[in-house]
């Protein structure tokens, strides 16, 4: 497991770490969305095209639509 130390960069390390973790979570969620089958997509109320469009968005594009 990778352990990162942010002590020497304080107080800026925590916000940067949080942004990085947010970006990684967005990446994971979009990849998971792209893997859903059509039945699961129908359950959450989106089409395959909408799911793929969301999955293709870059991780820094996190604005709500």
Read off the pLDDT of residues 46-65 as tens digits, 9 standing for 90 and up: 999 999 999 999 888 876 54
- pLDDT score at 47: 96
Residue 2 lies in a domain: no
Is residue 65 included in any domain, yes or no?
no
The per-residue pLDDT for 46 is 95
3-state secondary structure the chain: CCCCCCHHHCCCHHHHHHHHHHHHHHHHHHHHHHHCCHHHHHHHCCCHHHHHHHHHCCCCCCCCC
Q: What is the pLDDT of residues 3-59, one digit of tens each?
A: 445 555 556 667 888 888 988 999 999 999 999 999 999 999 999 999 999 999 988
Q: Is residue 26 part of a domain?
A: yes
Which residues form the domain of 43?
18-56
Return the pLDDT at 1: 42
How many domains does the chain divide into?
Answer: 1
Residue 29 lies in a domain: yes
Residue 13 lies in a domain: no
DSSP-derived letter for residue 57 is S
Query: Is residue 6 a part of any domain in this protein?
Result: no
- Give the pLDDT of residue 2: 43
Nearest to 57 by CA among 38, 35, 29, 37: 29
Q: Is residue 52 part of a domain?
A: yes
Residue 9 lies in a domain: no
């Amino acid at each position: 497991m990778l352990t990162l130390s942010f002590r020497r960069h304080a107080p800026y390390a925590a916000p940067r770490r949080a942004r990085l973790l947010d970006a990684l979570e967005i990446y994971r969620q979009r990849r998971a969305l792209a893997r859903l089958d059509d039945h699961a997509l129908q359950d959450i109320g989106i089409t395959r095209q909408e799911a793929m469009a969301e999955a293709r968005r870059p991780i820094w594009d996190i604005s709500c639509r």
